[in-house]
Amino acid sequence: MSLWNHITHIREVNYEFKSCWYVVGIMLIMGPILIMGVWIAGLVPDTANVSPSESMTTVLAEKTQAEIGSMLQIFGVIAMFTGLYFLARSLKSDNAVSNQFAEIGGLLLLLVVPIWVVFMGSWTEAIQAAEDFGNDVGTTILASSTMFEAGGVLLIVGLFLLGISLTILKKYKGVIGALFIIASVCAFTDVIFDIEAVAIIGWMGMFLMTLITGILTTLQKENQKEDIPNRGVEEIPEA
């Protein structure tokens, strides 16, 4: 391979590397915005702390709003957790402990995708079933879908392990990893003791830190990006 062709190949690899990071960053930004933004903006009916039958009545009363909100949240789940999975995969290093935490955390986060897609999409299916077969069938779907809320435990543990890996490697100076750990512990505490203040810190904190990580990932200019072409030139054998 000539010197020029080798340099051109290295530049193409560097470009693809940067593009990959931009895609992951955008996914980490769009995911939390779609999931939490829809909820904060009131684009989904409020069915918290009500029975499945009451939830079905509320959802049918705001049918269009519920369907739009449900679909947006589905796309948000896919973007956010797939982005976190690829972020975890990018943390491979010479540290075996960090690699194990990142690998396990990434797999747990990826498992959240099918579980929460079913959970977030239950409104759409319930509406269709209620219109075709009656409210009782739609209510049964909503009642059954509540079991998928348990997927939140996978999210908590996955982000906790990812936070440990980020902290060990001192990515983003270790701050992001530490905040992921704190938010995960708060969310787990809420699962056990149902404390509203802790719940806000934990759940909102995890989504907020994911958003911040996405922004940093998109804007970052790591030294390794600049090192790729340099290493390639250094490794070119003499003619």
Predicted confidence band at 3 (pLDDT cuts at 50, 70, 90)? very low
Q: Do 192 and 207 meet the contact criterion of CB atoms below 8 Å apart?
A: no
The 10s digit of each residue's pLDDT in 112-169 is: 999 999 988 888 889 999 988 988 988 999 888 888 888 889 999 999 999 999 999 9
The number of CA neighbours under 13 Å toward the Cβ of 117 is 12
Q: Do 182 and 140 meet the contact criterion of CB atoms below 8 Å apart?
A: no
pTM: 0.81
Token pair listed for 66: 């519920």
What is the structure's pLDDT at 171? 87
* ∠ CA 30-18-96, rounded to 5°: 90
Mean pLDDT (whole number) for 75-87: 94
What is the structure's pLDDT at 30? 95
Q: Which amino acid is at 91?
A: L
Q: Do 229 and 11 meet the contact criterion of CB atoms below 8 Å apart?
A: yes
With 50 as the cut, is the pLDDT of residue 237 above it? no
Output the CA torsion 56→60→62→66 (10° steps): 70
